Amino acid sequence: MKRLLMTAAAAALALAATAFNASAADKLKVGFIYLGPVGDLGWTYMHEVARQALVKELGDKIETTYLENVNEGPDSERSIVQLARTGHQLIFTTSFGYMDPTVKVAKQFPKIKFEHATGYKRAPNLGTYSGRFYEGRYIQGVIAAKMSKTGTLGYIASFPIPEVISGINATMLGAQSVNPNIKVKIIWVNTWFDPGKEADAAKALADQGADVLMQHTDSPAAMQVAQQRGIYAFGQDSDMIKFGPKSQLTAIVNNWGPYYIKQTKAVLAGTWKSEDTWDGLKEKMVVMAPFTNMPDDVKKLAEKTEAGIVDGSIVPFKCPVLGQDGKPIECKGGTHLDAGQILGMNFYVKGVDDKFPSK
């Protein structure tokens, strides 16, 4: 009896094993590595939304897999290798901290295509992509300066990396185009995602007289605080209107879907190349949520600013850009700062009332 049971169990296991080894052998397997949980409503959530869009578009030709909550330390390399070893031909690693592990794994698997978000190291089979989020920040600056009665904006910042610094600067330049005397208060929370800390920062900023909040962190906590306090805020990563129906002015929405579809099609067609993609409002990798809770004239101005950035008549980092000390920054791009200066930004523009962190 015992032996019979064991044989049956072994047979069942063997059957189980063959059943999934045989599944979907012909489809292109696309893998994703996520930093947070898919339900963070922020950065990872938007990658997940894009993955779902990809499945919807190419579901009959591809199969997708994601690994969520992948630590940026010792685990990420293994997670990427696991995807590579299980037949995934295209792998998106969606956080900056995966850069070195992705480079390493790409070297080990030269036939597999890798796409790394927000990094700067590339290889023949490793491309990079990111959004020009600072374009959206510029529009937010314009709106904020129009809407603020106190003339003080509150900014919840995560880490002093160039991406965040360029966001603060673009906001400031946009705001100054409306009100040259606008002030911004910055709180560094040193986290991407910590609703408790983000809410505390939002309350502190509101207490200091900021009546428009902006954030470079991922949770809707600040939006909820703004809603309670009856002040304004901007959403981050995704449209957060349901957390602040009376507060959200607009949101910067990360729209990765079209890019994922495009790159997957390229792999299917055999035309994929390693590139550095840095798209903005024009290519719709960065999208603004509807302009809400503002008078018509502000809305018109916001729309005009957006259209201007799309057609190139408005350039956020147009020279001369003045540094915090009032001296112009070297203009490497001719009429505006060049990509390297924005991607490696390590200075504040004039009018930012904050000491540049750890310089």
Residue 237's nearest CA partner among 172, 167, 296, 303 is 167
Contacts of 112 (CB under 8 A, 6+ apart): 84, 88, 89, 90, 91, 106, 125
194 binds another protein (CB under 8 A): no
7 or 190, CB closer to another protein? Answer: 190
Which of these ranges, 61-69, 124-132, 246-254, 293-301, lies near another protein under the rule CB under 8 A? 61-69
Closest distance to another protein from the beta carbon of 54 (Å): 15
Binders of another protein in range 312-351 (CB under 8 A): 343-344, 346
From candidates 162, 258, 308, 323, binder to another protein by CB under 8 A:
162
81 binds another protein (CB under 8 A): yes
Taking the alpha carbons at both ends of the chain, their separation in whole angstroms is: 74
Strand partners, 1: none
Q: Provide the token pair at 217.
A: 């962190």
From candidates 54, 62, 83, 240, binder to another protein by CB under 8 A:
83
From candidates 6, 7, 86, 339, binder to another protein by CB under 8 A:
86
Closest distance to another protein from the beta carbon of 182 (Å): 25
159 binds another protein (CB under 8 A): yes
71 binds another protein (CB under 8 A): yes
Residue 266's nearest CA partner among 95, 122, 89, 34 is 89
Contacts of 170 (CB under 8 A, 6+ apart): 134, 135, 137, 138, 141, 316, 317
16 or 307, CB closer to another protein? Answer: 16
From candidates 22, 73, 111, 149, binder to another protein by CB under 8 A:
73
Q: Provide the token pair at 310.
A: 């799309």
Which of these ranges, 50-58, 82-90, 211-219, 233-241, lies near another protein under the rule CB under 8 A? 82-90
Which of these ranges, 157-165, 223-231, 251-259, 274-282, lies near another protein under the rule CB under 8 A? 157-165
7 binds another protein (CB under 8 A): no
From candidates 53, 55, 75, 194, binder to another protein by CB under 8 A:
75
Binding interface with another protein (CB under 8 A): 12-13, 16-17, 19-20, 31, 37, 65-69, 71-75, 77-79, 81-83, 85-86, 96-97, 100, 120, 159-162, 165, 190, 343-344, 346, 357-358
